[in-house]
Amino acid sequence: MPFKKYSRGFTPLDTRKANLTGFTLVELLVVIAIIAVLATLTIFAFFGTRAKVRDAKRLNDLNQIGRFLSFSCLTPETGPGEYDLNELIDVYKSKYPQYTNIIPTNIRDPKIGTDKVSNYKYIVSADNKCVLYANLENDKEEITLPGLSEPTPGGGKGIFTSPTNGWNGSNKYFQVSN
């Protein structure tokens, strides 16, 4: 067997014979397209999840405040009517100071609520019945109050369908009532 002859020192790179390895432009474009499709699918999956999480926060907020409705309805000095929940929080705290530490201060719709307008609505009737309600985002929520098409004082607790879409773009509402 002949021995290989090894040269000592610097050997210049022969570019004509070297195997150049790398990705072609087509391969790179295919990988970029696959990543773009996966990113799009992920974004759409998260949009549905975010709406469900915001709806869960709405349900939790209304259930938390709804516990106070079991004691009695609060009728503001202006009388029966429809109010934003933020309008009533301070009145409730002054009327029931023993619950001041229990009532959350930042209750508002997680999508469009602000510090001044919560977008949680409160209706009190002349016969001292009341309802607290919010518009949900998820159109696929299961209806638990099929006999209602609008927030109804004394109508119970659950989800109903309205003939028109609300401020969150859905015709589904959750209400808590005495």
pLDDT tens for residues 104-153? 777 899 999 998 899 999 999 999 899 999 999 998 899 999 999 999 99
- Give 160's strand partners: 173
Burial of 120 from C-beta contacts in 10 A (0-12 / 13-18 / 19+): buried
Confidence at residue 134, expressed as pLDDT on a 0 to 100 scale: 96
* The amino acid at 34: I
Here the tokens at position 129 are 């019945």
The answer to whether 100 touches 93, Cβ cutoff 8 Å, is yes
At which residue do the structure tokens 């509402």 appear?
Answer: 173
Q: What is this structure's pTM?
A: 0.73
